[in-house]
Amino acid sequence: MAHEAEEAAGAAQGDAASCVAPLFPLSNVFLFPGTRMPLHIFEPRYRQMVSDLLDGPGRLVLGTLCEPNGKHAAPCPPGFEAPAKPPHPSVLAIGGLAEILQHERLPDGRFYILVTGLGRVRIREAPCDRLYRRVHVTPVCETPVCPSRECLLREKLTRAVLTRCKELDALPDGVSLSQLADLLLLRLQLPSSVMSPLFSELDVEKRVLGALAEHTRRPTDGGAI
């Protein structure tokens, strides 16, 4: 994941500036930089999206649908018009820029695709005349950890990641704190309400501390998660 994430970050910074990309909104799905994700495409609008992508650069944004707050709206006072509902379900402002690595078109028009995460991007709705949605994509810059704190946080993160990743004896050299925090978050399998703010956090130290806090709250049960 570390090597792929480094390449992905460069690709995202170099290619995502001031562009518009298709949006694939999903519930409780977070595409982290450097990770790969298989997707089954079956809805007509997203079949159209993939067909269009295969004729172009093959890049899209995986956006996480915002969870409803569960509260009922207050009744509208007499004489006032109720506010209009948004035309599309809301997604997090931070999404994952993806690139299609492999695809298989099935006889009935469905697709199986494999995408890789190129990096976090900031997104906002863009006009679109297709069945699917498009978004404006802007690269984001993370706030690095203060050098005086890096050694301590790296030690804590490494210990937590190795606790969750029993198949690993050690971590490769050169893995950034941002990548370590993401790896820990992936292993924790958090609910969307908890993962959303952590995935969207661009201050690396805050994301690290949040990931460590969730690791502490959730026992490993003596095995890998």
Q: How far apart are CA 172 and CA 79, in angstroms?
A: 65
Distance of CA 189 to the CA centre of its chain: 13
Q: How far apart are CA 101 and CA 34, in angstroms?
A: 12
Q: How far apart are CA 17 and CA 139, in angstroms?
A: 6
Residues 19-77 have pLDDT tens digits of 999 999 999 999 999 999 999 999 999 999 999 999 988 999 999 999 876 443 445 55
> Is domain 2-69+87-139 in CATH 2.30.130.40, yes or no?
yes
Cα diameter, the chain? 67
Q: Is 143 helix (H, G, I), strand (E, B) or coil?
A: strand
Q: How far apart are CA 187 and CA 195, in angstroms?
A: 12
Distance of CA 120 to the CA centre of its chain: 7
DSSP of 25-43, one letter per residue? EETT----TT-EEEEEE-S
Q: How far apart are CA 193 and CA 66, in angstroms?
A: 9
Instruction: Answer positive or negative: Cα dihedral of 101, 102, 105, 111.
Output: negative
Q: How far apart are CA 139 and CA 52, in angstroms?
A: 23
Give me the residues of the chain with pLDDT under 50, please: 2, 4-5, 8-9, 14, 16, 70-74, 82-84, 223-225
Residues 49, 50, 51, 53: what is their CA dihedral angle, to the nearest 10 degrees?
A: 90
- Bridge-based pairing state of the strands 133-139 and 19-26: antiparallel
Predicted local distance difference test score (pLDDT) of residue 169 = 84
Q: How far apart are CA 214 and CA 39, in angstroms?
A: 28
- What residue spans define the domains of the chain? 2-69+87-139, 147-217
Predicted local distance difference test score (pLDDT) of residue 224 = 39
Q: How far apart are CA 190 and CA 165, in angstroms?
A: 16
